[in-house]
Chain A
Amino acid sequence: MVAPPVSIPTAPVARSDKTSRPGPLVTATVAILVGATLIPLGYVASATVSIGWTKAYELVVRPRVGELLFNTVALVAVTVPLCVVIGVGVAWLVERTDLPGRAFWRPLFVAPLAVPAFVNSYAWVGVIPSLHGLWAGVLVASLSYFPFMYLPVAATLRRLDPAVEESARALGSDSTAVFFRVVLPQLRLAILGGGLLIGVHLLAEFGAFAMLRFDTFTVAIFQQFQVTFDGAAGSMLAGVLVLLCLVLLVAEATARGSTRFARIGAGAPRATTPVRLGRNTIPAQTGLFALAVLALSVPVWTILRWLWIGGAEVWVLGDIGAALGQTIGLATVAAVLTTMLAFPVAWVAVRSSGVLARAVEGANYVTSSLPGIVTALALVTVTIHIARPLYQSVALIVFAYVLLFMPRALVNVRAGLAQVPPSLEEASRSLGSSPTSTFLRVTLRLTAPAAAAGASLVFVAVATELTATLLLAPTGTRTLSMRFWSFSSELDYAAAAPYALVLVVLAIPVTLVLFRQSTKAAAL
């Protein structure tokens, strides 16, 4: 699991009176998608009801659940604040100080997103074989996920009006006081958004923690699933996991309050005067260097080391080629389908108001936060009971990818669509083009770059997905991440190395997309 969408504030819709009503086809598509996003929650609810309250209570209140709860909560409680410190610190150093080499560091700290968390775990286990438990989990998760904090905070820092900080200086605050009293409060929304994203990933991650022998809910649900397929105990663990997830959502929403993104300053803001680090330059530079070594050099070095040890014989080109082909095939189909389906949803969200649009927003918000394992379990259960032929079919796994990764495509398509002024569509209509032809010649054409960015995000997300793929893939499927997983589970680290390398190389473009988006967001 890498690289979910960075929450980039979308440009305001050009017209306030949203008058165009979606057609029946659009409405039906959107309604079906919104309905489908409710499957995971519905599964948890119906499982609880069918097990019965007494049994459900017994399954939830037992020492094992207590242990998992402690592990998971401790993981979130330690990792998220750590990521805040690292992400905000790095963002401030590269955006607001005269640190030499900022242009080099700026994109570099987005790069950890190209390394899937489970590959990162594999790398660290390769360096320190005895690594396991909570602190190992915190270490690997922080190094994998801090860019989720760094990206939005850096983008916000670039957008802040320097005049506000200059006023604070004029009012007698030194640069430390300005940071804590003026800058940090303005970063609140970015920090909350990044924190939520990291929290959600911590709850959902399976591979990274399984490899570190650190049991979180997701890891335990997966093990349970392998023992008792479609069992009550697994469903109840999923129920607790969903509750934890909802707690995170509510906590973030409460902390966010009714604050909205205030548009700061009009016109082109002036460049800020960078803070002079002076004597602190060397410690800052050392800190960034250490972080880069921990977050990037360790995985790169381990992969290369195992490749060196394994030599030519780990390059079983037939196997790697087959896995690459399957991965690219699945990821392409899922990316294209998800992006196509994102269009009607984005259209409704941007261009119409009312119940449907609000339902779309809400459903997406919740589903994007639910761990993939819950969605996968829900689909397994639903297909076994209702649509047996779909179980372990390509159609089902593609459907799961659409549900899991729709938000990534949606964020981009939505932003793209919001930037197409309705006046262009009107101009096209008045020049004799029908609505369909207008969509194809104007709207789609102008949204294409955003849609391509969305599709590439989905592509890499699917290519590096592990949990849902392990649960849902048809027998005989061997994607890159599945092969990597099976080799590293057998402790054949050298054989796993080529797959890790291909996964990282596949994920590099998405990192570039994310970095470009965050720089563009700053220019809005």
Chain B
Amino acid sequence: MTTNILEVKGLAKSFHTNTVLHDIDLDLQPGTTTAVVGSSGCGKTTLLRLIAGFETPDAGTITLAGRQVAGPEGAVPPHRRGVGYVAQDGALFPHLTVGQNIAYGLRGTSRGEVHARVGELLETVSLDASYASRRPHQLSGGQQQRVALARALARHPALMLLDEPFSALDTGLRASTRKAVAKLLADAGVTTLLVTHDQEEALSIADQVAVMRDGRFTQVGTPEHVYRLPKDRFTAEFLGDCISLPCTVSSGVADCALGRVPVETPVADGPATLLLRPEQIVATVVSDSERLDGVGTVIATEFLGHDVLLTIDPDGDAGPLTVRQHSLNPPPIDAKVHLEVVGYGVVLA
């Protein structure tokens, strides 16, 4: 078994009377990317600052590559942790050029080596070497972010911490910067921990996702796992839209308004709530005469470009539900549709 780059055990932190983090456990394997996702104020940035060393925990330990850096015996100051940190706005030094910013952490090397390394790092973050002589304010938000990343990479950190690194960028730039950063960090083999409030960002970039609420992790796992098999309603709803239906479970199958849906994890028989993702339901137009299970009437449609959101009132007692499907030839309002469930459902007690 390989040693984890980061091990966090029982971490707790409070400011004055306000407890921000409760009993946090987290392990990061080498070369992987982990995203901590949660709404603002849930404590995710505090977790990052504790790992970077800007704050001291009240309880628990932080171990970096086998060396305990914070715990009951005291804390290692940030400059001796060897952790890369990229702040939300990049935090470039305004009094230094881009090149000087990147070279900031390079000490004890000759001028020539520094120059060469700066050029190399600029290339790593896909910026031209001529950028070295520019000032931070002459760069766009995305470029500043990349320079901040190059600056942090210069010291070959074992662990890279990214605090909402893409939130300051506009939507178009965010997706492309995200992809580029994920690729270069993966290529460099740097273990990364990033915090974000954007669940799409977390799911797309990470190997491991930790969902945080009020200073606790509600679930930690692969993006697929936490999305498909959420442990509770909060996690399920935080990561995407949900359809919840009352159902009765018997021997691994849930009986609901849409018919019989297989359940992934073993659950006790009896009444429960079934959770489905909108994209799991396929609505096909049927003629009025057909008598099938799981039929409903379209009561509203919302055109979103590549997708369409259908609000469907199923026959029976269940309330209206939302279905997301591609927008080619959507069923019109008042059409009768047959609702078919693809894949497994999740049952919450």
Q: Which of B60-68, B91-99, B262-270, B276-284 participates in binding chain A?
A: B91-99
Within 8 A of A (CB), among B129-165: 148, 151-152, 154-155, 161
Which residues of the partner chain A approach B83 to less than 8 Å between Cβ atoms?
430
In angstroms, Cα B104 to Cα A37, docked, is 40
A-B pairs with beta carbons under 8 Å apart, 13 shown: A423-B91, A426-B54, A426-B87, A426-B91, A427-B85, A427-B92, A429-B78, A429-B79, A430-B85, A430-B161, A432-B80, A442-B93, A446-B94
Interface status of B120 (Cβ within 8 A of chain A): no
Which residues of the partner chain A approach B81 to less than 8 Å between Cβ atoms?
430
CB <8 Å contact, B85 and A426: yes
Within 8 A of B (CB), among A1-55: 17, 19
Assuming A431-B151, A446-B93, A446-B94, what are 19 further A-B pairs, CB within 8 angstroms?
A: A423-B91, A426-B78, A427-B92, A427-B151, A428-B93, A429-B53, A429-B77, A430-B53, A430-B83, A430-B152, A431-B79, A431-B104, A431-B155, A432-B80, A432-B82, A434-B77, A438-B79, A441-B104, A442-B93
The A interface, classified by DSSP as helix, strand, loop or mixed, is helix
CB <8 Å contact, B91 and A433: no
| Chain B residue, CB-CB nearest to A422 | B54
CB <8 Å contact, B87 and A433: no
Interface status of B52 (Cβ within 8 A of chain A): yes
Tell me, rounded to whole Å, the shortest Cβ–Cβ distance linking B349 to chain A. 39
In angstroms, Cα B93 to Cα A445, docked, is 10
Tell me, rounded to whole Å, the shortest Cβ–Cβ distance linking B82 to chain A. 8
Q: A78-106 vs B: 1/0 string, CB under 8 Å?
A: 00000000000000000000000000000
CB <8 Å contact, B52 and A431: no
10 shortest interchain CB distances as A-B pairs: A431-B105, A430-B85, A429-B78, A423-B91, A427-B91, A423-B87, A429-B79, A432-B79, A432-B105, A424-B91
| Chain B residue, CB-CB nearest to A446 | B95
CB <8 Å contact, A430 and B93: no
Which residues of the partner chain A approach B85 to less than 8 Å between Cβ atoms?
426-427, 430
Per a CB cutoff under 8 Å, which of B15, B52, B92, B155 touches A426? B52
In angstroms, Cα B79 to Cα A421, docked, is 18
Per a CB cutoff under 8 Å, which of B52, B95, B152, B154 touches A445? B95
Interface status of B223 (Cβ within 8 A of chain A): no
CB <8 Å contact, A430 and B89: no
CB <8 Å contact, A19 and B55: yes
Interface status of A362 (Cβ within 8 A of chain B): no
In angstroms, Cα B81 to Cα A433, docked, is 11
Which residues of the partner chain A approach B91 to less than 8 Å between Cβ atoms?
421, 423-424, 426-427
Which residues of the partner chain A approach B95 to less than 8 Å between Cβ atoms?
445-446
Interface status of B111 (Cβ within 8 A of chain A): no
A residues contacting B by CB (< 8 A) are 17, 19, 421, 423-424, 426-435, 438, 441-442, 445-446
Interface status of B296 (Cβ within 8 A of chain A): no
CB <8 Å contact, A17 and B79: no
Which residues of the partner chain A approach B306 to less than 8 Å between Cβ atoms?
none
In angstroms, Cα B194 to Cα A191, docked, is 50
Interface status of B107 (Cβ within 8 A of chain A): yes
Tell me, rounded to whole Å, the shortest Cβ–Cβ distance linking B125 to chain A. 16
Which residues of the partner chain A approach B54 to less than 8 Å between Cβ atoms?
426, 429
CB <8 Å contact, A432 and B155: yes
Interface status of B345 (Cβ within 8 A of chain A): no
Which residues of the partner chain A approach B43 to less than 8 Å between Cβ atoms?
none
Interface status of B84 (Cβ within 8 A of chain A): yes
| Chain B residue, CB-CB nearest to A441 | B104
In angstroms, Cα B87 to Cα A421, docked, is 11
Within 8 A of A (CB), among B283-316: none
In angstroms, Cα B82 to Cα A438, docked, is 16
CB <8 Å contact, B55 and A431: no
Whether A430 contacts B79 in the complex (CB less than 8 A), given A423-B87, A446-B95, comes out as yes
Tell me, rounded to whole Å, the shortest Cβ–Cβ distance linking A60 to chain B. 48
Which residues of the partner chain A approach B55 to less than 8 Å between Cβ atoms?
19
Tell me, rounded to whole Å, the shortest Cβ–Cβ distance linking A417 to chain B. 15
Q: Which of A429, A441, A442 has the most CB of B within 10 A?
A: A429
Which residues of the partner chain B approach A432 to less than 8 Å between Cβ atoms?
79-80, 82, 105, 107, 155
Which residues of the partner chain B approach A438 to less than 8 Å between Cβ atoms?
79
Which residues of the partner chain B approach A430 to less than 8 Å between Cβ atoms?
52-53, 78-79, 81, 83-85, 152, 161
In angstroms, Cα B151 to Cα A430, docked, is 10
Which residues of the partner chain A approach B154 to less than 8 Å between Cβ atoms?
431
Q: Which of B79, B81, B82, B85 has the most CB of A within 10 A?
A: B79
Which residues of the partner chain B approach A423 to less than 8 Å between Cβ atoms?
87-89, 91
Q: Which of B53, B104, B161 has the most CB of A within 10 A?
A: B104
In angstroms, Cα B48 to Cα A426, docked, is 12
CB <8 Å contact, B87 and A427: yes
Which residues of the partner chain B approach A424 to less than 8 Å between Cβ atoms?
91, 93
In angstroms, Cα B113 to Cα A284, docked, is 66
In angstroms, Cα B222 to Cα A28, docked, is 52
Tell me, rounded to whole Å, the shortest Cβ–Cβ distance linking B69 to chain A. 13
| Chain A residue, CB-CB nearest to B84 | A430
Which residues of the partner chain A approach B79 to less than 8 Å between Cβ atoms?
429-435, 438
In angstroms, Cα B54 to Cα A17, docked, is 12
Tell me, rounded to whole Å, the shortest Cβ–Cβ distance linking B8 to chain A. 18
Tell me, rounded to whole Å, the shortest Cβ–Cβ distance linking B41 to chain A. 12
Which residues of the partner chain B approach A428 to less than 8 Å between Cβ atoms?
93, 104
Tell me, rounded to whole Å, the shortest Cβ–Cβ distance linking A439 to chain B. 12
CB <8 Å contact, A17 and B15: yes
Which residues of the partner chain B approach A421 to less than 8 Å between Cβ atoms?
91
| Chain B residue, CB-CB nearest to A445 | B95
| Chain B residue, CB-CB nearest to A426 | B54
Whether A431 contacts B87 in the complex (CB less than 8 A), given A445-B95, A446-B94, comes out as no
